[in-house]
């Protein structure tokens, strides 16, 4: 770990960094899955889904950056390679055969939900460790995840 004048104990920072790196892996995996959907979506709602998936991908890239920067500000190393993310991510592998918009929506909404649950777990864990700033970061990320989950699920709730 690198030295920092942040007034959290080294033990707290180490524990928080582990949690952050786990969420970093999930976020990297999810962003790549959303991009997979963006590239491969087909069907009557192609353009609206293509653009929505791109917005979610961009939001995930920002979350990745926020998580990684928090890790390094705590004196840790952001472990953000694709290889590390592939090993650590708690998300299911994205089926490469999906093409229909509805199938992408179903799969991505499930993945976003899993990610959201792990981020909310991070709120509680980091608060218990005494790192209110990281808990606040996770709270911010959680609100954004819930918003995009709502966007995805709204497409699935159409009764027409």
Q: Confirm whether 5 is domain-assigned.
A: no
Angle (deg, nearest 10), helices 46-73 and 10-40: 160
The pLDDT tens digits for 14-24 are 999 999 999 99
Residue 2 lies in a domain: no
Cβ distance 86 to 29 under 8 Å?
Answer: yes
The pTM assigned to this predicted structure is: 0.95
Strand, coil or helix: what is 42? Answer: strand
The sign of the dihedral angle between the CA atoms of 131, 145, 32, 58 is negative
Q: What CATH number is attached to the domain comprising 123?
A: 1.20.1260.10
Q: How far is CA 139 from CA 62, 85, 116, in A?
A: 15, 22, 10
The predicted pLDDT at position 158 comes to 67
DSSP category for residue 100 = B
CA 89, CA 119: separation in Å to the nearest integer? 13
Domain range holding 93? 10-154
Number of domains, the chain: 1
Q: Residue written as tokens 């969420």?
A: 23
pLDDT tens digits in sequence order for the chain, 160 residues long: 898 999 999 999 999 999 999 999 999 999 999 999 999 999 989 999 999 999 999 999 999 999 999 999 999 999 999 999 999 999 999 999 999 999 999 999 999 999 999 999 999 999 999 999 999 999 999 999 999 999 999 999 866 5
Place of tokens 């179903």: 106
């Amino acid at each position: 770990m690198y030295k920092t004048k942040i007034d959290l104990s080294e033990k707290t920072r180490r524990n928080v960094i582990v949690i952050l790196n786990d969420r970093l892996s999930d976020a990297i995996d999810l962003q790549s899955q959303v991009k997979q959907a963006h590239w491969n979506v087909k069907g009557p709602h192609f353009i609206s889904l293509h653009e929505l998936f791109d917005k979610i991908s961009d939001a995930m890239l920002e979350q990745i950056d926020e998580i990684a920067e928090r890790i390094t500000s705590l004196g840790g190393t952001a472990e953000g390679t694709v290889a590390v993310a592939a090993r650590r991510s708690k998300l299911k592998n994205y089926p490469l055969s999906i093409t229909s918009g509805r199938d992408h929506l179903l799969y991505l909404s499930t993945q976003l939900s899993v990610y959201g649950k792990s981020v909310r777990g991070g709120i509680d864990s980091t608060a218990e460790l005494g790192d209110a700033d990281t808990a606040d970061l996770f709270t911010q990320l959680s609100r954004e995840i819930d918003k995009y989950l709502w966007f995805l699920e709204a497409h699935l709730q159409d009764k027409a």
